[in-house]
Amino acid sequence: MPSLSDAAFVCCLGSLRGQIYLILGLKTVILTPSILEDYIFYQTFLDSGDLVRNKMSKQKHSASSTRWLKEHFDDKYANEARKKGFRSRAIFKIEEIQNKDKLLKPGMTVVDLGAAPGGWSQFAAKVVGEGGRVIACDLLPMESIAGVSFLQGDFREEAVLNALLDRIQPEMVDVVMSDMAPNMAGNLSVDQPRAMYLVELALDMCRQVLAPNGSFVVKVFQGEGFDDYVKAVRDLFKVVKIRKPDSSRSRSREVFIVATGYKG
C-alpha cells in the first residue's frame, strides 16, 4: 500500500487495466469513472458539505482514505475485473441485470450513456455481436472497443446531441443504458438533484430514440425525487423493476431501474 501524503487529501487510488492512477485534490475532487462508482457515497463524502473546510483533520482523511483503498483492492469484483481485463467492476452489475432480465440480444442496437471507461459497452458489444451496434457517449475519453461507436462530449449541448442522434437515426434503438453519475460535491442537497437531472436526461433520450417495446436500464440514487422518477418511468414502460445487484456496494444508495416494453 503506497504512503498517503499529508500535503493533499487523497481522493482515490485505483487500478485500470494494470495501471495505477493517483488523484489528489484540495479544492476540487475529481474521480475517474471506474473508481467513481465505488466512491460516490463513501463516508468522507457523506460527512462533508465542503471538503476544503471539512471538520475532519488531514490525519482522519488519510486514515479513512486508507480504509477505502484497502477495501477497494480487497474487493472481489474489482479484482476479478482486473484479472479478466474488464474496463471496470461495473460490468458485473450489467451482467447480473442481463442474467435476470435478458435485455440484450444478438443483433440489437444499444445506446450507452455515461459509458467511460467502457464496462457496460464492453459487455453489450459482446452480447449483441457483429450484427448489432453499440453507440456510446461520455464527457470523458474512452479507449476504443471493437463494435462500439464512441462519441466524446456532453450531450446536453445541442451540437453533441445532434451528433449522437446522427449516429443513431434514422433507425430506432432497442436498449438505452445509463450508468451516468455527476461529480459529487459531498452535499446531498446538491448531489441528489444533479443525479436526478441526469436520469431525467436519460429518460428523455428514450423518448427520442427508443423503439416500441424497447428496454431501458438506468442507475438511480435513492433520495429526493426517486419515487416521482419511478412513476415517470412506469408511465412510459409496461414493466418496471428495481434491481440492486450483488456487485453494487451495500452502503451505496444506487439502484438500477430496469424497464421493458416501451409504450412509444
Supply the residues annotated as catalytic: 219
78: amino acid identity, one letter: A
69 CB neighbour count, 10 Å cutoff: 17
112 is in an annotated binding site: no
58 grid coordinates? 488531514
129 is in an annotated binding site: no
Question: Is 176 strand, coil or helix?
Answer: strand
Integer Cα distance of 222 and 208 in angstroms:
25
Pairing between β-strand 237-243 and β-strand 254-262 as defined by DSSP bridges: antiparallel
101 is in an annotated binding site: no
Helix axis angle, 76-84 to 58-74, nearest 10°: 60
Integer Cα distance of 133 and 147 in angstroms:
6
179 is in an annotated binding site: yes
Cβ neighbors of 58 (< 8 A, separation 6 or more) are 6, 9
Integer Cα distance of 180 and 204 in angstroms:
14
227 is in an annotated binding site: no
DSSP string, 72-87: HHH-HHHHHHHHHT-S
99: amino acid identity, one letter: N
Binding residues for S-adenosyl-L-methionine: 118, 120, 138, 154, 179
Q: Annotated binding residues, as ranges?
A: 118, 120, 138, 154, 179
